[in-house]
Amino acid sequence: MAALLALGTAAAQSEDQYLFLRTPNAAITARVTGDSVTGPDVQLSRDGKTLRGRAFGQTVFLGLNGQELGGTVGRELTRLSFEDKGGVTHARGSFYGRLTELNLSKEALTGTVGACSYDLKATQDGSYSGSRSCGGAPERPVVLDIPPALAQQGTAMTLATLGLILGVP
Q: What are 59-86's pLDDT values in tens digits?
A: 999 999 889 999 999 999 999 999 999 9
Handedness of CA 93, 94, 99, 103 (dihedral sign): negative
pTM (predicted TM-score): 0.88
Residue pLDDT, tens place only, 37-62: 999 999 999 998 999 999 999 999 99
Phi, psi of 163 (to 5 degrees): -55, -45
Phi, psi of 71 (to 5 degrees): 155, -140
On average, the pLDDT of the chain sits at: 89
At residue 88 the predicted structure's pLDDT band, cuts being 50, 70 and 90, is: very high
Phi, psi of 43 (to 5 degrees): -135, 95
Phi, psi of 83 (to 5 degrees): -150, 150
Beta strands 36-38 and 27-33 are antiparallel
- Distances in whole angstroms, Cα of residue 161 to Cα of each of 45, 124, 136, 138, 166: 10, 23, 24, 23, 9
Whether residue 19 is predicted with pLDDT greater than 90 in this model: the reply is yes
Residue pLDDT, tens place only, 128-159: 999 999 988 999 999 999 999 998 988 999 99
At residue 11 the predicted structure's pLDDT band, cuts being 50, 70 and 90, is: very low
- Distances in whole angstroms, Cα of residue 90 to Cα of each of 7, 94, 105, 156: 19, 13, 9, 12
- Distances in whole angstroms, Cα of residue 45 to Cα of each of 69, 77, 84, 137, 148: 15, 19, 24, 34, 17
Whether residue 4 is predicted with pLDDT greater than 60 in this model: the reply is no
